[in-house]
Amino acid sequence: MKKYNHFWILTTILLVSCQTPQKENYRWLKKSLDAASIQLKIAGEKLEGTGMFPRSIHQVCDTMFISRQLERDPSIFKDSIESESTPELAGQTLLCPASDWTSGFFPGSLWYAYEMTRKDSLKKFAIYYTNLLNPVRYIKNTHDIGFMVNCSYGNALRLTPNDTIKEIIKETADNLCGRFNDTIGCIRSWDFGDWNYPVIIDNIMNLDLLFKAYNLTANNRYNEVAIKHAKTTMKNHFRPDYTCYHVVSYNNDGTVEYKRTHQGKHDESSWARGQAWAVYGYTSCFRETKDSIFLNHAEHIANMIIRRVKTEDLIPLWDYNAIQSPETPRDASAAAVTASALIELSTLTQNNKYFTYAETILKNLSSDAYFAKIGDNQNFILMHSTGSVPNGFEIDAPLNYADYYYLEALKRYMDVKQIKYFDL
């Protein structure tokens, strides 16, 4: 009789255990947040008092490598090389001033890391490095003011709101609107080069600053400029397969002068980060406007990315048309931007395939293949990003914006999963 009872007790336990959902393992997430927090804190301490921000790592340009990647003779692209790093600087941190387009990403990363972990040391540095960007409010010669301000002051506004931040967002949004041309219907990107009126796909990311200014002030001009820019870009930047050009230059009457892919393999190739900017930007446009034209466009781009990225770990090559070679660099920054965008897109569409795809990217970026060891990588979080192959700049290197969008994606992931750092 005892054996009989023991048999049924054991059977019942086994049946119950089989029916009880297994708790998901988030060790990878806890490990990543802890390591990222340490890397950011060390970087903040090292640069305190310099007035500078970490951007990447100095590299010496290898023109023959670029030649192989572009499948072009070096004489054709030699004038486009931008890297000024010397062998003496190689491996050291590449710093940038507040006026650099990437300056807002480091304070933004600190804000996200603080928001998730609530570590006061991160908040202290987030405030310190954000305040260093105060002079940016007077800059009018760049469209990248959105990156610089929205990623830093924009996150500060969510976490430590005050009237000074609101005023900075309004001033910089006004400066961005000052670069809008009503006839062309776009915000001008660059003030250099032989283009008449260049607009780059990256500019779609700066519209969040205008939407934020609209939400703060109810001034519809911010909304009008953002929406018009997004619709003009949708009309002219994209090919029938929803890949996009990097640059579209306009004539003064609003007609297209020409289309190019400045940082990609060639003009008709699909530069990986450009595709990531596109899906992120149009997802944001739908979030702010609720106009289904933007949601449909974001989904088309997302589906294209899922089809086109052929790497096993979903971290794309630097260009979708890049040669399949062991030396061809990946772009972790494009992967991080895509992951962040697709997590948000999944919440707007209730389509779980976007979340699943983004989750795979995040877990792979959090692996030893891409996530740097504490103390290595000049204290950047991620390895193996690519800035611009044609310019010989930041190739297979850490990038501050890869870290920023990786942390943003982690935050969005935790929000969807409804998990907190202290529960991990």
Task: Please list the active-site residues.
Answer: 144, 202
d(CA 49, CA 131): 12
Q: Are 86 and 136 in contact (CB under 8 A)?
A: no
Who contacts 207 (Cβ-Cβ below 8 Å, separation ≥6)?
146, 226, 229, 230, 281, 284, 285
Q: How far apart are the two ends of the chain, measured CA to CA in Å? A: 45
- In sequence order, what are the residues at sequence separation of 6 or more whose Cβ sits closer than 8 angstroms to the Cβ of residue 130? 107, 111, 152, 153, 156
Residue type at 138 in one-letter notation: Y
In DSSP notation, 76-128 reads HHGGG------TTTTTSEEEE-TTSTTTTHHHHHHHHHHHHH--HHHHHHHHH
Furthest-apart CA atoms within the chain: distance in Å: 94
Based on its alpha-carbon atoms, the radius of gyration of the chain, rounded to whole angstroms, reads: 23
Residue 260 near residue 268 (C-beta atoms within 8 A): no
Nearest to 318 by CA among 196, 405, 216, 402: 402
Calpha distance 303→165 (Å, rounded): 37
Question: What does the alpha-carbon distance between residue 234 and residue 247 come to, in Å, rounded to a whole number?
Answer: 13
In the chain, the amino acid numbered 159 is L
Write b or e for each residue in 35-48: b if 16 or more Cβ atoms lie within 10 A of its Cβ, otherwise e: bbbbbbbebbeebe
CB neighbourhood size of 231 (10 A): 17
